[in-house]
Structures are given as structure tokens and as C-alpha cells.
Amino acid sequence: MKKSFYQIDQKQLAEDLQTNLKQGLAVQEAKQRFEKNGANTLTAKKKKSLFAKFVDQFKDLMIGILLAAAFVAALTGEQTDALFILAIVIINAIFGVFQESKSENAIDALKKMATPKATVIRGGQPEQVPATDLVVGDLVSLEAGDIVPADLRLVDVANLRVEEAALTGESVPVEKTDKTLTEDKLPLGDQDNLAFMNAHVVYGRALGIVVATGMQTEVGKIAGALQGQDETKTPLQENLKSLSKVLTYLILAIAALTFVIGYFTQNMPIIDLILTAISLAVAAIPEGLPAIVTITLALGTARMAKKAALVRKLPAVETLGSTDIIGSDKTGTLTQNKMTVEKVVLNGQVVDLAEENPFDSAHLSKPAAILGDIMTLNNDSQLTAEGLVGDPTETALIDFNEKYRPDRLEALRGQERLQEIPFDSERKLMTTIYEAGDAYQVTVKGAPDSILARVDSVLENGEVRPFTKEDLAHYQTVNGQLADQALRVLAFAEKSLKTLPQEAKSDEMETGLTLVGFVAMIDPERPEVKDSVAQAKAAGIRPMMITGDHPQTAAAIADRLRILDKNDDREKTVMTGAALDELSDDVFDKRVEDVKVYARVAPAHKVRIVQAWQKKGKVVAMTGDGVNDAPALKAADIGVAMGITGTEVSKEAADMVLADDNFSTIVSAVKEGRKVFANIQKALQYLLASNLAEVIAIFMMTLLGWEVLAPVMILWINLVTDTMPAIALGLEPAQKNIMQQKPRGKTANFLSGGVGPAILWQGILQAVIVLSVYGFALAFPDHSGTALIHGDALTMAFMTLGLMQMFNAVNVKSVYQSQLNASTFKNHFFNGALLFSLIAMMAVVVIEPLNPIFHVTNLDPYQWFIVIGASIAIIVIVELVKWVQRTFFNRG
């Protein structure tokens, strides 16, 4: 079996890669390898051209039927009808392309423009080169603050610690070694002699040989796997696809039936039957629906962008609204990805900094001051132009002093360190020596067990006294209690020397110490996340934590965020990746509903978790920022990546990017998604009820032998009524209780929640009113002369159908609730759109030069009275039906 890089000793590795452990590659050899293997970059998925995006917009089934209708209309000489249909289809396509391109540009803007540099040794000489120029075999130098430029096998390490959260999910920096490891199949987080591309060096220095570049790195392997993964269809796409099929079958059936009836019972000419079939197709297809859906989604994305949520794919907005499960990474998403001191132990007691300032307490201020001094002096973090750089644990200690006593911190920063004993993993201690008046102060920090074994006195109430067995037991208990809360505990001690030793040695400097206190820290939860989790739960959404961190740490944060409830059985609700590996798919499918926290998981685990929920018909959202999150982001129904701390791989895999990395933005996005779905439902009810009325009216006109509404009439009605009023419905505010409703899930569709029945009875009602007006006009004509009778009747039917649809837009704002209240007209865009559409609809009759184009006649006041009265009747009748539904059937 081929050995992994971490299992190969340095000498053998140098031979295998034909490089030198001291000199690196020769300059010419590096150049040749670069020309042969290419740049050290990740290959991005090729973006579609504008033309390809435009063509994609025409793949919808309803769009195909409309294009066919336009073609037939053009062949039969109805050029105006053909042009109208084409115009609507093209406008819809342009909207789709515009939004897709706009979203891609927003994501691109998040990418870092500068190419990171790397220090490489070639021919024995160090030089700075772009990281993209590195090749396998290069010898690279790493220092604190560097970004690891490629996958490296470390060959010379000096106290190196690397933060790998983006790849492994481990929030605490990993201590690295240059020793050869012998174990088989070590997970990435335990391959301690390797440094991976995009990781951050937080402490120490090292030399490493490049063993993989570009797509061959661990980051690149994940990126490559993502590009071959299929896109997940969103509920919106599935709903529209199903709706298109149903409408297609209905259109074909109705057109065929009308053709048979017209040909065999009415003896209609073939050309008239063809035109009638086109009218039916135009009437049945909500040609404005794709555009309305696109516009409504685009308006949703615009609102979300203002709240720092950038949507890459329009349907993702609506998908958020149907989310059942949110699987979230811990580090940087639920937490701040920044170690913070939360508690200190002084005088043997635990002080919670959220409740008490130790520097303000009379009996704590002196030991607190000494502890603060040691935290500052025994610290290797550095203040640079970019901010504080160093190990997150040490930067947390500086942040503590910056918060409570910035003046003292500034004074201590200029103090010269005389000697030190660096930290190492065997002692688990770090010691520094400073001048203190006539003496020298020795400061020691490290693991509590290591410190407690080396102290013989303790600082208590400002006085030093002997350290007893009872003290040892007490401090060990306190350490255990803090560790149980997943807090990282450091102990601090000191002693005074009269003379400075020539060389600081552990057995002399790190014995006979005085214990000053403990510091307990953690990567804390984001302050706003707890409320967001509560809101998600109230909305029926299940938040889960999926992390590479330790189970104890993960469970502690989940407790604090209330992802875990007080009564939860931890054995059932917390699962590790190792435990997950032991479960078959069938067993895990049964267990998945119990688990709320997953710890120590790998990318494959995350995908498996997502897919297990999807098998149960749940809509799964996955949030994250690391490379390790990307496969699950791709597999989820909607992937949400972090824009600031997120890697480019995770952003490319996601459907939505949070520009502010704020978990609360997800909750806002869910609310927006629910509102978008509700508004699309309103628009759909409005459009389909109108189209159903048109189909029934045309069918009955054919059956009765009346003159049928021309295709241009139907198109004008649809153009006027299906655009601005329908778009305005997309701007309706969210219902007050929208985040107290349960997720609708994958099984719900646009016709659920009473929308389907409402479309049927409101469509039939509109058709009955239109036919009644037509019949009344034929029976009681006001104009004299036979030639105008049918023209006036058809015009009145045409106007009634158009105006009534607009008034019905008021009704569809709620399936069951009354709209006879002031809040109905709070949407000012809707009010304006309705008024504009009413004027545009009436204009084709009032403005006589337009009459011939639309096959209409000019109406007199009496006829207008009939038309307007019949149109407004739709509001009165629908309100009455809603009242009956609420009163006698307990609806709404």
C-alpha cells in the first residue's frame, strides 16, 4: 500500500521529489516544473456565456408553447398577436439573464484581489514569489501571520501552530511537528507533520517541502469533487415544472375539444378554429408567470442584499422559505472564531466576567492586577498594522487587558524580555523573565496540571501563603468543572529572583512557583445567534450543529445557544463522526431525528447527514464557511456560505452568501423566503383565476356560437393585468405571524393552503360574470343597427374581463381574510399599479384610433355603467364567500 506523505521520512521524501532539504530546488528546475504542471491555483468552474444564459431561459415548457403559438399566429397573418407573444417571452428571458449575471458579479466582488506571497528557498537563496508560482518539491519558509501557500510536509519546525478551521473545523490551532508519523489512515486534523493550503500560521516558524499544488491539494480535491456534483432542484423549480405539465395537458385537451365542437357543431372555418385555438393557448398559459416569478424573486434578492445576504441563484430565495432543517458549522458561524476570556479564578473562586469586574473588587483587584500583568508579559502576540497577530489563546489574553486596563497594557508593552523558555508539548509551559525593580520577575503560564505540580505557594487576598493538599484538590476540582463547560483553562504563576541566571532552565525557573490564578476561555457564540435559534425553532425549523470540533466543546456551545434543550439525552442528541461511521444507512436514517449536534465530522459525514434528512422529504439548508463545508453546501437544498471568513470554494458551492457572516441574516432570509412564496402564491392565484376565466369564457362563446375574443384582446388583457398588478403583489408585506407558521416542506405546492380551490371558484365566477354581460348586451343592445350589436357585446365582455381581473387582485391578498380594511391599501406600489392598469385597459376603447387594432367599438355611458358595475361585483361576491368560509367552515 502506498504511504501517505505524513508516513514518509524526510530523507526518503527528498529523494522521491528530487529536491534538497537545505537548498530547495534549483531555479531552472522550478521553472521547468512550473511549465510542465502549471500554476498553483484552483480551477474554477467555467461560467456560462451571456448567450448560453439567454438560451437557458427558453427551456421552460410553457415558454415553448407560447413560441409555438406565436409561430402559428404569424403563419395565419396575425402579426400583431405574434409580436405580442414574442415580446413577453423575450422580456422574461432578459430579466432572468440580468439577475443571474448581477448575482455572479456580487459574489465576484467578495473575492480577494491580491495574490498571496510565499517565501521559497531555491538554490539555497530565499525569495518572495507569488504563491501561484510554487511547484512540487519547493522548500517553503513559514512564519507567524503567513497563509500556507500549498500542501507542505514539514521538515524543520520551531513551535509551529497552525489554524486549520477552514479545512478541519478545529477551532483551536494545531501544534505541528516535523517527526514522521506511522499510523495508517489518520484524519486530516491529526496529520500533524503536514500544513495544508489556505491554513493560517499563528505561532512559530517552519520549513516545509511542497507535496501538492492546485487541484491536487486537500482543498483542491474538495473543489474538484464539487464540480462533478449535480445541482439540487429547488421546490420552486419542481412546482413550476409540475404546473407547466398540468397546464400543457389542459391546453391540448381544451384546444382539441374546442376544435371538435367548432368544426362539427358550428361549422366554423379552419382558419377561425386555428385562431380560436391560439386564443385558448394564450388564455390558458399565464405567459406573465415566469416573468412575475423572476421579478418577485429578484425583488426578494434586492431586499436581502440590503440585509447582507447575496443570492447567487434566484430560486434559492423561495427555497429558504420552505426550510425544515438548518445544519450549521460551529466555528465562525455560530461562534465568533475568536478565543475570549470568560472566567478567571482568583483567591480560589471562579469569577464570571459577564457578572463581575475583578478589578473593581477590593479583595480581587490585587491578584487580578498581577494575573493581568503575567497574561501580558508571558505572551508572544504582536501588534502590527493589520492588528493583533498571534496564537488565538494569547491574543485573547491581550484582548482581556485591552478591555479592562488599556493604560497598564500600554506600559507593559515596552518592557524588555530578558530571557525565556518557549512552550513545548512535553512541559506544557512557557516561561519569561523581566526586570522588576531590584529583582527579576519570572512569569509562567501553561496547563493547570503542569503548573499545580510546580507550585509551593498561592496568592490569596493579596498575600502569599503555603500551597496545601487541600488547595491542590480544590484547584483540580475547579479545573475539572471549567473543562466540563468546554472552557480552555490556563494556569498562571510567578516567582521573584534576586539575580538573573546566565541561562534560563526549566528545572530551576519552573519550580517553587506561586500560583496566581486560572483563566478560562472559549470561542464564544455570536451574541445574536441565541435569539436567531429561538426564532428558527418558533418557525418550526430545526437548527443543528455540524462541526469538526470536540464533542464536549460543541455540546457546550449548543447548550448555550439552546440548540440542545435541558432535558435532552446527550447520548442520543450528540454524535461523533466515528460513531456515525459505525452506523449503517438504515440505522442512521432512524437515528437522524434524535441528533442535534454532530462533532468531529468529516466532509463525507456532512453530506450523509444532509442526504438522510432529504430522504425524509425535508428541505435542508446548510451553512458554513470552510472548505470542509463545501460538499454539504452543494448537496443541500440550499447552501449558505460566509462572505468574509468563507473560502472561495464554499462560496462557489453555495446558493447564497452572507456578506456579514451573521447567522441572524439567515433567519431574516428565511422570513423573506416565506414572504416571497406567499406573494408568488398570491400572484399565481391572481393569474390562474384570470386565465381560467378566459378559457371558460372562450370555450362557452365557441359553444354558443358567439364571436370569440381575438388573440390580441387576450394578450392585451394579460399584458395589462398580468404585469404591474401581479408584480405589485410581489411587494406585499409579510403577514405578522409568518415566522410562527410551520415550514410547508417539499410536499406543499403553490396550490396548497386553499389557493387551488380559490382559483377554481373565482375563475368560474369571473367567467359567469363575463358571459352574463355578453348575453345581456346581445339581448338588450343600446346601439341601433345589427352590425354593431356583436361588436358592442364583445367589447363589453372584453372590458369586463379585463377590469374584473384587476379588481380581483385585491381579493387574492388573502385566501380567507377580508380585504375591506385600511391595511389592504398600504402597498402604495400596488395602488399605483392598479390605477395605471385600469387606465391602460380602458384606453383601447376610449381612444378611438386604437379601436381597430384591438377589434373593439366605442361604448356609451350606459354600457360603461354595466361594465364597471359587473367588474366591481367580483369584490362584493368574493367578500361574501370568504365570510361564509370563516363563519361556517372555520377557515382562515
**Percent of the chain scoring above 90 in pLDDT:** 38
Give dist(CA 678, CA 198) in Å, integer. Answer: 42
pLDDT in tens, 382-414: 887 777 888 888 999 999 999 999 989 888 887
Q: What is the pLDDT of residue 106?
A: 40
Q: What is the pLDDT of residue 309?
A: 81
The whole-chain average pLDDT of the chain stands at 84
**Percent of the chain scoring above 70 in pLDDT:** 86
Give dist(CA 887, CA 852) in Å, integer. Answer: 49
Lowest mean pLDDT among 160-164, 484-488, 651-655: 651-655
Q: What is the pLDDT of residue 260?
A: 80
Q: What is the pLDDT of residue 890?
A: 85
- What is the per-residue DSSP string for 819-856? --SGGGG--HHHHHHHHHHHHHHHHHHHSGGGHHHHT-
792 vs 719 pLDDT, higher one: 792
Question: Where residue 304 falls among pLDDT bands split at 50, 70, 90?
Answer: confident
Mean pLDDT for the stretch of residues 523-542 = 90
Q: What is the pLDDT of residue 96?
A: 58
Sign of CA dihedral 768, 770, 773, 779: negative
Q: What is the pLDDT of residue 154?
A: 94
- Please give the grid coordinates belonging to residue 734: 409579510
Mean pLDDT for the stretch of residues 2-10 = 88
pLDDT over 50 (residue 640): yes
Q: Which of 358, 212, 226, 225 is nearest to 654 (CA)?
A: 226
- Please give the grid coordinates belonging to residue 889: 367552515
589 vs 646 pLDDT, higher one: 589
Helix (H, G, I), strand (E, B) or coil at 533: helix
Give dist(CA 46, CA 731) in Å, integer. Answer: 35
Give dist(CA 745, CA 749) in Å, integer. Answer: 9
pLDDT in tens, 334-349: 888 789 999 999 999 9
pLDDT over 90 (residue 670): no
- What is the per-residue DSSP string for 87-154? HHHHHHHHHHHHHHHHHHHHHHTTS--SPPEEEEEETTEEEEEEGGG--TT-EEEEETTPBP-SEEEE
Give dist(CA 814, CA 545) in Å, integer. Answer: 37
Q: Which of 202, 214, 179 is nearest to 391 (CA)?
A: 202
Helix (H, G, I), strand (E, B) or coil at 161: strand
Strand-pair partners of 440: 435, 497
Question: Where residue 704 falls among pLDDT bands split at 50, 70, 90?
Answer: confident
Q: Which of 632, 783, 803 is nearest to 725 (CA)?
A: 803
Residue 286: other Cβ atoms inside 10 A? 24
Q: What is the pLDDT of residue 802?
A: 94
pLDDT over 80 (residue 230): no
Mean pLDDT for the stretch of residues 718-742 = 82
Q: Count of alpha carbons within 13 Å of 676, Cβ hemisphere only?
A: 30
Sign of CA dihedral 167, 168, 170, 173: negative
Q: What is the pLDDT of residue 81?
A: 63
pLDDT in tens, 190-212: 898 999 988 888 878 899 999 99
Residue 329 annotated to the active site? yes
- Please give the grid coordinates belonging to residue 175: 501544534
Q: What is the pLDDT of residue 878?
A: 95
Q: What is the pLDDT of residue 651?
A: 78
- Helices 861-889 and 755-779, packing angle to 10 deg: 150
Question: Where residue 57 falls among pLDDT bands split at 50, 70, 90?
Answer: low
Q: What is the pLDDT of residue 140?
A: 94
Q: What is the pLDDT of residue 114?
A: 36
Q: How big is the chain, counted in residues?
A: 892
Q: Which of 270, 30, 62 is nearest to 130 (CA)?
A: 30
pLDDT over 80 (residue 75): no
Question: Where residue 171 falls among pLDDT bands split at 50, 70, 90?
Answer: low
Q: Which fold has domain 340-522?
A: Calcium-transporting ATPase, cytoplasmic domain N (3.40.1110)
**Contact status, residue 178 vs residue 195, Cβ threshold 8 Å:** no
Q: What is the pLDDT of residue 787?
A: 41
Q: What is the pLDDT of residue 465?
A: 94
Q: What is the pLDDT of residue 103?
A: 44
In CATH, the architecture of 5-38+135-212 is: Distorted Sandwich (2.70)
- What is the per-residue DSSP string for 461-478? TTEEEEPPHHHHHHHHHH
Most confident of 101-105, 511-515, 531-535, 630-634: 511-515
Q: What is the pLDDT of residue 558?
A: 92
The domain limits of the chain are 5-38+135-212, 318-336+527-668, 340-522, 753-892
Long-range contacts of 375-378 (CB under 8 A, 24+ apart): 375/400, 375/401, 375/445, 375/492, 375/519, 376/401, 376/408, 376/409, 376/412, 376/413, 377/412, 377/415, 377/417, 377/432, 377/434, 377/441, 377/443, 378/430, 378/431, 378/432, 378/443, 378/444, 378/445, 378/492
- Please give the grid coordinates belonging to residue 165: 478551521
450 vs 143 pLDDT, higher one: 450
Question: Where residue 594 falls among pLDDT bands split at 50, 70, 90?
Answer: very high
Question: Where residue 351 falls among pLDDT bands split at 50, 70, 90?
Answer: very high
57 vs 36 pLDDT, higher one: 36
Q: Which fold has domain 318-336+527-668?
A: Rossmann fold (3.40.50)
* 58 to 53, 81, 243, 284, 288: CA distances (angstroms): 10, 19, 16, 19, 14
b/e code 763-797 from CB counts within 10 Å (16+ = b): bebbbebbbebbeebbeebebeeeeebbbbbbbbb
pLDDT in tens, 706-717: 888 877 788 788
Which residue in the list 138, 192, 324, 329 is annotated as catalytic? Answer: 329
- What is the per-residue DSSP string for 753-805? TTHHHHHHHHHHHHHHHHHHHHHHHHHS-SS-SHHHHHHHHHHHHHHHHHHHH
pLDDT in tens, 732-754: 888 778 888 888 777 677 778 88
The conformation of residue 189, written as its DSSP 8-state character, comes to G
pLDDT over 80 (residue 278): no
Question: Where residue 288 falls among pLDDT bands split at 50, 70, 90?
Answer: low
Mean pLDDT for the stretch of residues 286-299 = 70
Most confident of 183-197, 274-288, 719-733: 183-197
Torsion of CA 47, 49, 55, 57, to 10 degrees: 50
Most confident of 455-464, 700-709, 716-725: 455-464
Specify whether the backbone of 310 is left (phi greater than 0), alpha (psi in -120 to 50) or beta. Answer: beta
pLDDT over 60 (residue 110): no
pLDDT over 60 (residue 786): no
Q: What is the pLDDT of residue 703?
A: 82
Residues in contact with 527: Cβ distance below 8 Å, sequence separation at least 6, in sequence order: none
